[in-house]
Structure 1
């Protein structure tokens, strides 16, 4: 999993929770770092914080869709913004799903399983 979030504490907490569920995670603090991760590695899912100051996250999702590396990787908008504020722009940017921050991790896990089912947690990235 690739977690893109400028809030280091939040990103690390999410990574720790996903690690406990058996997923392997990589954290990128901004969009530019996400594209600099090992080129041979393609994440199973991208969890993208929408509210970050360094660039427009919807433009970043569109850029990911335009790259051969990320074009088929499910992208989940993970944000504290209201769903209505994200859905329309998210559709245009080809974001696959929306999950609200600040609640249980269970809805995010369900989205991950729905968007990118795997045979078992040990196989997930």
Structure 2
């Protein structure tokens, strides 16, 4: 995790792991700002990651009937259902109980960590970081195959 003037830019809060053996990691980006959600989904997409985006927590939950992600990157400050509320719902659903949830916000880790961990988030990444930092964070959750 990088540190700029004492601020944590990203942090892992859980020991959750994903097992993928040559299968792309499915990543859902949830942000109420269309351009941000779409741009991040495009930036994360490559042969290792299949991505989609949703513009609200409700839309994210509705997408689960057709596509179940391995990782969900959730904006915290969204109208109607914020990231905390959405995370709690996702942790109660059988299909997303074990997904990796990343809090993605402009707020500092100190501002959100207690509520985020209680809501079920596995990690934090501050908006404004390079996409490579977010990719590295996602990759930290992927277990290496046993040899």
- Which category describes the TM-score, using the shorter chain as reference length? 0.7 to 0.9
Size of the aligned set, in residue pairs, is 119
Match of 2:62 in 1: 36
Greater relative contact order, per chain length (Cα 8 Å cut-off, separation 6+) = 2
Is residue 2:62 matched to residue 1:50?
Answer: no
Instruction: Assess if the C-alpha contact under 8 Å between 1:65 and 1:71 holds in 2.
Output: yes
Q: Which runs of 4+ in 1 moved over 2 A?
A: 116-119
Structure with more helix by fraction: 1
Match of residue 140 from structure 2: 114
Shift of 1:82: 1.0
The equivalent residue for 1:92 is 118
In the superposition, relative to structure 1, how do residues 78 and 21 fare at CA in structure 2: closer, same or farther (>3 Å)? Answer: farther
Q: From the CA coordinates, give the structure whose radius of gyration is larger.
A: 2
Normalised TM-score (structure 1): 0.87
Select the structure that is richer in strand: 2
Q: CA deviation at 1:118?
A: 6.6
What residue in structure 2 maps to residue 122 of structure 1?
Answer: none
Structure 1: gaps of 5 or more residues = 120-125
